[in-house]
């Protein structure tokens, strides 16, 4: 295996559906061994990007390579594993039989026992695949994606519709797989999920990358502050102050969104503009607006899904989250 090759390389990729630009000039390189979260609201282009990477959707323009080859060739070579978002499992066979069958279709599969252990399914090997809970069935889909021992695993919203316990078990298995030096790309709506499980977070909005970095960098963005003050006369200079990313004027009140409130306040002090100065942490909605330049879509959750789909939620969406710490 060529260790210098990127697992994923997207360059100038666009994909439109009619008038909608689902992916808009996307550049993304993922080195081998990284676990990357694609984070974004509904319609950001996550699924389309993943579909392009899997070779299921041809981009209108741009180049797509998976381990230096076209996606279809990487799939044929068994280097790319994917997990379907949903869909029934074959009835009447056991989990172990199903995995054994799928493993048999690959040139160099993982031993079934190992896959079962990694997906935390060992105790369920003899259970019929059509008699599983939602979380168990999701772990079987995960196991099916691992069966061929791929070097890159691509997961589209793998924990959608799972409860807290099932989600924890799922990530547990995923971490074991990542520990083998594998590359993982997963999409999610949840900042917290990206934060906890990815080395790197790529925030997509309207088909473009609006932020890309480690969780600390993204958190720093999410930990924006607002600086409020009373102003008179010209306010155009406020936008040029250090740290300031947005200025909102309401009457005589200015609200500055800042990534560095210390620097902003210092500059305001030097300018003698400190009347009724107020520094407060921005909320996540502010952070999202700062990243994407628009308000978060709310109520966009599909009716059959128990999950909430606000772009950045600080708590996990399912029931039983009492006592979970919220992001600082």
Ligand X SMILES: Nc1ncnc2c1ncn2[C@@H]1O[C@H](COP(=O)(O)OP(=O)(O)OP(=O)(O)O)[C@@H](O)[C@H]1O
The contact set with ligand X (CB under 6 A) reads 17, 20, 22, 40, 42-48
Q: How far apart are CA 124 and CA 97, in angstroms?
A: 11
Cβ-contact 102, 147 below 8 angstroms? yes
Write down the least CB distance from residue 153 to ligand X, Å: 18
Q: How far apart are CA 24 and CA 206, in angstroms?
A: 7
Nearer to ligand X, 33 or 43 (CB): 43
Write down the least CB distance from residue 302 to ligand X, Å: 8
| DSSP letter (8 states) at residue 170 | H
Q: How far apart are CA 212 and CA 325, in angstroms?
A: 25
Write down the least CB distance from residue 44 to ligand X, Å: 4
CA distances from 133 to 150, 161, 167, 210, 323 (A): 26, 12, 13, 37, 25
Q: Give the angle subtended at the CA of 281 by the CAs of 279 and 286, to the nearest 5°.
A: 115
* Residues near 73 by beta carbon (within 8 Å), at least 6 away in sequence: none
Residue 189, Cα to own-chain centre: how many angstroms? 6
Cβ-contact 142, 173 below 8 angstroms? yes
Write down the least CB distance from residue 15 to ligand X, Å: 8
Q: Tokens standing for 224? A: 């924006």
Write down the least CB distance from residue 118 to ligand X, Å: 26
Nearest to 69 by CA among 193, 143, 152: 152
Write down the least CB distance from residue 20 to ligand X, Å: 5
Nearer to ligand X, 187 or 225 (CB): 187
């Amino acid at each position: 295996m060529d260790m210098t090759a990127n697992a994923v390389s997207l360059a100038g990729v666009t994909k439109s559906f009619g008038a909608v630009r689902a992916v808009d000039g996307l550049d993304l390189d993922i080195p081998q061994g990284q676990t990357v979260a694609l984070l974004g609201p509904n319609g950001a282009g996550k699924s389309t990007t993943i579909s392009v990477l899997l070779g299921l959707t041809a981009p209108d323009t741009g180049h797509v390579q998976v381990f230096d080859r076209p996606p279809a060739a990487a799939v044929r070579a068994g280097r790319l594993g994917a997990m379907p978002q949903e869909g029934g499992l074959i009835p009447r066979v056991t989990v172990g039989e199903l995995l054994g069958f799928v493993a048999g279709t690959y040139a160099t599969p993982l031993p079934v026992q190992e896959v079962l252990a990694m997906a935390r399914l060992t105790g369920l090997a003899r259970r019929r695949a059509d008699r599983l809970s939602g979380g168990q069935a999701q772990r079987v889909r995960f196991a099916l994606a691992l069966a061929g021992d791929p070097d890159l695993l691509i997961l589209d919203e793998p924990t959608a519709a799972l409860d807290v316990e099932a989600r924890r078990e799922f990530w547990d298995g995923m971490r074991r797989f990542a520990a083998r030096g594998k590359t993982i790309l997963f999409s999610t709506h949840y900042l917290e999920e990206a934060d906890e499980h990815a080395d790197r977070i790529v925030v997509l909005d309207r088909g473009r990358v609006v932020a890309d970095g480690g969780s600390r960098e993204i958190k720093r963005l999410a930990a924006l502050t607002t600086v409020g003050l009373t102003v008179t006369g010209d306010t155009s200079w406020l936008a040029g102050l250090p740290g300031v990313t947005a200025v909102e004027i309401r009457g005589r009140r200015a609200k500055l969104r800042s990534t560095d409130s210390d620097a902003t306040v210092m500059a305001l002090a030097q300018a003698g503009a400190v009347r009724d100065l107020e520094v407060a942490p921005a909320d996540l909605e502010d952070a999202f607006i700062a990243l994407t330049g628009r308000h978060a879509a709310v109520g966009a959750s599909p009716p059959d899904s128990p999950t909430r789909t606000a772009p950045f939620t600080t708590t996990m969406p399912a029931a039983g989250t009492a006592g979970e710490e919220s992001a600082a």
